[in-house]
Amino acid sequence: MVDSRWSPASAGRRRGPELERAILEAALEQLGTVGWNALTMEGVAAGAQTGKAALYRRWPSKTDLVADALRTALPQIGEIPDCGSIREDLHLLCVRTRAVMYSRAGQALWSVLHECDHAHAERFHGVISSRLQEPARQLIGELLVRGIERGDVRADATGPLVVDVIPAMLMYRSKVCGSEWQDGEIAELIDQVMVPLLRV
């Protein structure tokens, strides 16, 4: 319950990045507790202990705020060090991608997509594309080139469909089939699908 004695002055007059971080964190917290449909700018403002006007000065709408909160909070896959083989490189990439998908922000993002209408969903699909799918595809392309140079990937295995296999499988099994990727399943994806596909 919000303390009725709260006032903007009581928040210590946070400004700039500190206030923005508090607002984005409050938005993420609201998503986790009440979901997209019940989330309000008033509720986020109360959670961040600031005035509603502070939100609207930065984000014109609830959609803008939530998209920014999710984009900011989603972890990055990060660079994949040379693990010595394409199998180990891709395995590490899958493990890191799974961590992003099942992070707090990742789970919140998928929940939002299930709740919001088509017009809003398009905006959040953009977050998935820019923060997860495209970085994963770019990394996979880099790993395939590394594998070709190392000699454990055939030279013609760099096309867009090949690069799409891992992101497509992870998304499909997770979000369409409702299956959580266990370690053994990731190993099967690499050993039974990717390695035979890429083999020299």
Q: What's the rounded Cα separation, in Å, for the pair 100 and 98?
A: 5
Residue 10 is predicted with a pLDDT of 46
Q: What is the largest CA-CA distance in the chain?
A: 69
pTM of the model: 0.84
- DSSP 8-state code for residue 50: S
User: What CATH number does domain 77-198 carry, 1.10.3720.10, 1.10.357.10, 3.90.1150.10, 2.40.160.150?
Assistant: 1.10.357.10
Which CATH code for domain 8-72?
1.10.10.60
List, for residues 108-125, the tens digit of each pLDDT value: 998 898 898 888 888 898
Q: Where are the domains of the chain?
A: 8-72, 77-198
Length of the chain: 200
pLDDT at residue 13, as a whole number: 63
At residue 196, does pLDDT exceed 60?
A: yes
Q: What is the pLDDT of residue 172?
A: 86
Residue with the bigger pLDDT between 16 and 48: it is: 48
First-to-last C-alpha distance (Å) of the chain: 62
89 and 77 Cβ atoms separated by less than 8 Å: no
